[in-house]
Amino acid sequence: MPPHMLIERCAGMLELSSALAGQLPTANYGDPTPTMFDFQPAQRFFADGRPYVPHTASKSLVHHIVQHGDKTCRLLLASDGIHEIGFAIDGTGEYNFFGEPEPDTPMYRVISKIRLAASDLTAWLRIPLEDDGLWRVVQTHRGLRTMLQYLKYQTIGLIQHTRQLVDLVER
């Protein structure tokens, strides 16, 4: 899939996710996320040693969707070869948490961040994208990948998480 289609798909998933997140009842923020029941134990941890398992409950899923949006925007910005990605793409350091709001952030602010990321991605569709920057090879937490492959990974993640959010809202 060409980069502009991936960007368009990401923006669409973010727009849908923002609408769905607004439909989640506050009382259900702690409900388990569908498909996460058999999730592996945490392999990453907060600085204080607490396990980090993203998107295990409905509110944390929405927070994780924000993270995908922010990472996708930073990836596109960095594809120009001038800007920095802004987080360690290899899975170390702040990678796990980059762009993810604090757990007690009110949902309306989380939804605003999702909408802003969707808007930023849509803006990318209005300018010519330099595809060659997306062919740059970077070390990711999944090994060496091109930035385009990482964009595909972010897109697939957003699609899956939006599907999980649909399941939560339809319950």
Report yes or no on 45 lying in a domain. no
**Strand runs labelled E in the chain:** 44-45, 51-52, 137-140, 143-146
Question: pLDDT tens for residues 9-44?
Answer: 999 999 999 999 999 999 888 887 776 655 556 666
Q: What is the CATH classification number for the domain harbouring 16?
A: 1.20.120.450
pTM for the model = 0.85
Q: Is residue 34 part of a domain?
A: no
87 falls within a domain: yes
Q: Would 46 be classed as within a structural domain?
A: no
Domain annotation covers residue 72: yes
Residue 12, class by beta-carbon neighbours within 10 Å (0-12 exposed, 13-18 middle, 19+ buried)? middle
Residue 27: half-sphere exposure toward Cβ, Cα within 13 Å: 0
Are 12 and 40 in contact by the 8 Å Cβ rule? The answer is no
Q: What is the rounded distance in angstroms from the CA atom of residue 160 to the CA atom of residue 170? A: 16
